[in-house]
Chain A
Amino acid sequence: MNWLRRASSEPLWKEEFSVSTAEERYVTRRQLTKFLVLTSLGMFVGNIWILVRSIFYKTPSYPQQPVARLGEIPVGGVKLFTYPTKEDQCIMVRTGENEYVSYSQKCTHLSCAVYYSQASNRLECPCHRGFFSIKDGAVLQGPPSRPLPRILLETRGEQVVAVDVKA
């Protein structure tokens, strides 16, 4: 098939792969620069999205829902319930004679269910050993960076009523 080739001093492979290494590096760096700028644009768009969500964020109103009767659980005991929707699992702990605290049961790290450890008096996530304070839901240890959302409770007559969620 040599008769099909035009006369050239360069070998065939050099004609077909005519981009030298230096040229290739040059083009690749330019393309990487373009890719980095597009990534920068993506980060900016992400921040704009958060800004838009912040602007149009509406404070949700939560229903008032009885979650337990007074004395239903012993001191140091636990009751699980759902609030404000059926999908939102919560945990209530009776910490004293007339003291109840309640938090969302979803760990703020990766949404595993937290449980109450009576021995150490704290809420613990078994997945990655994230510990939360029983007093205010603050992170004591582990990978979670945000406290547990707190369910605000009120005592009305003989009932403990969930009235609000404090993130």
Chain B
Amino acid sequence: MPSPVELPPKTRGLTAIAGAMSLIAVLVIVQIWLLSAALELFLAGNRHTALPAAVFSGVMFLICLGLYLFVDRVDSEVRRSADER
């Protein structure tokens, strides 16, 4: 069985993208829950939870954005190495 280093760049790129995508999917699910909980509390008259919910949601979005930029970078590298071959 080949070690990860020996795998072709495209396979490694796909693995990286799949990993990042899984993390982003988990974060988005948490964000969906957070939004529904914040809306529920807002409609129930609790106005103090909106700020922490927005902050956490923003942090999760930034992580997602970072992961996307990582995916974009990996993708560029894979394409460049494929062109060089």
A40 touches B54 (CB 8 A): no
Task: Kindly identify, within residues 138 to 167 of chain A, every residue whose CB is under 8 Å from any CB belonging to chain B.
Answer: 145-146, 167
The closest CB in chain A to the CB of B14 belongs to A26
Count the B residues whose beta carbon is within 8 Å of the partner chain — how many?
A: 37
Identify the stretch in A29-37, A83-91, A110-118, A127-135 within 8 Å (CB) of chain B at 4 or more residues.
Answer: A29-37
B68 touches A37 (CB 8 A): yes
Given A26-B13, A43-B31, A47-B34, are A54 and B64 also a contact pair (CB < 8 Å)? no
Q: How far is the CA of A51 from the CA of B44 in the complex (A)?
A: 14
Query: Secondary structure at chain B's binding surface: helix, strand, loop or mixed?
Result: helix
Residues of B within 8 A of A26 (CB): 10, 13-14, 17
Residues of A within 8 A of B45 (CB): 167
**What string of 1s and 0s marks CB contacts (under 8 Å) between A14-41 and chain B?**
0000000010011001101110110111
- The distance from the CB of A103 to the nearest CB of chain B, in whole angstroms, is 15
**What string of 1s and 0s marks CB contacts (under 8 Å) between B27-68 and chain A?**
110011011001110111101001101100110110011011
B50 touches A32 (CB 8 A): no
Residues of A within 8 A of B53 (CB): 47, 50-51
A29 touches B24 (CB 8 A): no
A44 touches B17 (CB 8 A): no
Residues of B within 8 A of A32 (CB): 21
Q: How far is the CA of A20 from the CA of B13 in the complex (A)?
A: 16
B71 touches A30 (CB 8 A): yes
Residues of B within 8 A of A146 (CB): 40, 43-44
Residues of B within 8 A of A (CB): 10, 13-14, 17-18, 20-21, 24-25, 27-28, 31-32, 34-35, 38-40, 42-45, 47, 50-51, 53-54, 57-58, 60-61, 64-65, 67-68, 71, 75
4 new A-B contacts at CB < 8 Å, known A47-B34, A54-B42: A26-B17, A34-B68, A37-B61, A40-B64
Please give me the 4 A-B residue pairs with the lowest Cβ-Cβ distance, nearest first: A43-B31, A54-B50, A167-B45, A47-B57
